[in-house]
Homo-oligomer: A and B are copies of this chain.
Amino acid sequence: MPLSVKVLNILSGKRAAILNRLDAESLGINVYDRIKIIHENKTTTALVEISEEPELVPKGQIGLYKEIATELGALNGEIVYVEVAKTPQSVTYIRKKLRGEKLSSEEISSIVQDTVALNLNELEIAAFLLAQDFYGMNMDEIEALAKSMLKTGDVLDLPGKAVDKHSIGGVPGNKVSLLIVPIIASTGLLIPKTSSKAITSPSGTTDTMSVLANVEFSIEELRKIVLKVGGAIVWGGALNLAPADDIFIRVEYPLKIDPRPQMLASIMSKKAAEGISYLVIDLPTGRGAKVQTREEAFSLAQDFVELGKRMGINVKCGVTYGGQPIGKAIGPALEAKEALSALERPEEASKSLVEKSVSLAGLILEMTGYAFKGEGSKLAMEILRSGKALKKFREIIEHQGGNPNVKTEDIPIGRYKYEVLAESDGYVTLVDNTVINAIGRAAGAPLEKGAGIMIYAKQGYKVEKGQVLMEIYAERSTKLQEAISICNSSRPIVVEGMLLSTYPEF
């Protein structure tokens, strides 16, 4: 069927074309079906959307989203030929997984390729992810998933044995990478740390680092920085490492699912794309964290180690206490400030932040033979105390285009502030990750970098009535009001009477 092109400037994030209802009916197709579009010597496929009304796409025309129009070189008013396209083979593999069957590595690879090529619609991708959640995957399937995700993207090529640290996330205030990367880099090991922006928390490592330096680099630029200073802290999203992951995440986000096979494959494919040989994975465990129990953490750790083996990466997992925020600060600017000041004066810094950072850095030092078993964290602490890590961090900031002489007091934070006071004497029995995340985001973080929370009372602290438990910061008064309203209707920090006399020490 010949149709006249109407170029549309909507970012659908889909490979979609809009047909008039009458044309769609005469082709015998419906929404979510696929068509082949032919223009001169170019052919492409697209998912069908349907316009009921002639104002947008009249009969005889086809609305093309910009990316497809560009690909076909089709201009407004030009004629393209449209026919019904076959359903991609990968859809039958998704249906196979929906029946609970195991998939071969070729079948998984076909699904991943069609995901990246945008040949699958979001319902099909959701079905694949939900089937993983329901039926699980065995290690062969997970390996195939990770390796085919790796193949669809670029790879960082570094000499020698590079290392990295990754956290599965979920706990607020987890700015440990800003300490770990410079500690490791100052030993001479290469650590090309890529990270994500926050999905559910008020700040991801990328958001925090972006307060101090640029985080968006090409893979070649990242390579140069790492070779020069030994380490970097950059946004993974700009690097095209395992790009299928971004599409899977876009579908997982509205469904609020995080299927374990997909999580394992996503993380390990991205890390394999960094070309690293050693990896320490932080598994925050506890109430309100992604992993609730030690048993769950150990089972996940086993899978990471096994998958690492199959991908050629030596993996060690650190099960860490994730039942409350790490350190005191939450939100991009507040966390950047806390990290910088911990590098400057580690002895004055929050114990949970420093201990967690040197423990994980220590694991890397032990794995790579830079420290004897059991002595890694001591060595990491020495490097931190010596000022070498601070010096290295300033070098990294400089090479990422930031101000290497930045002082903590230079970092701007939200001008609107609200203090949360203890309503009674007692002990802190809970700092609720979920509520803290909600308050931080309502205050404007991570997009408004000065927004966030300072926590002054953690689990087990004895507090007196009227004492400041936490402060909320915001850049706009309306956002502060929203955060306060969540704070008043939930309980971010629970103070109870003399119920506790000790507390679990980390």
Contacts and interface: CB of A to CB of B under 8 A. Distances in A.
A53 B66 contact: yes
Contacts of A126: 123, 126-127, 130
Contacts of A51: 9-11
B11 A123 contact: no
Contact of A254 (B11, B52, B121, B256): B121
Count copies of this chain in the complex: 2
For the complex of A and B, the 7 pairs showing the least CB-CB separation, nearest first, are A32-B254, A11-B52, A9-B55, A9-B53, A134-B134, A9-B56, A130-B130
Interface stretch (A22-30, A184-192, A334-342): A22-30
Interface string A109-128: 00000000000011110110
Interface in A143-189: none
Given A9-B53, A127-B130, 15 more contacts: A8-B56, A10-B49, A26-B447, A30-B253, A33-B254, A95-B256, A98-B130, A98-B133, A98-B257, A123-B126, A123-B251, A123-B254, A123-B255, A126-B126, A130-B130
A286 interface: no
Contacts of A133: 98
A250 interface: yes
Interface string A35-77: 0000000000000011111011000000000100000000000
A135 B100 CA distance: 12
A56 B10 CA distance: 6
Interface of A: 8-11, 13, 18, 21, 25-26, 28, 30-33, 49-53, 55-56, 66, 95, 98, 121-124, 126-127, 130-131, 133-135, 250-251, 253-257, 441, 444, 447
A92 to B, nearest CB: 9
B13 A31 contact: yes
Contacts of A254: 31-33, 121, 123-124
23 contacts: A9-B51, A9-B55, A10-B18, A10-B51, A10-B56, A11-B21, A11-B51, A11-B52, A11-B53, A25-B447, A26-B447, A31-B250, A31-B254, A32-B254, A95-B256, A98-B257, A121-B254, A123-B251, A123-B255, A124-B254, A126-B126, A126-B127, A134-B134
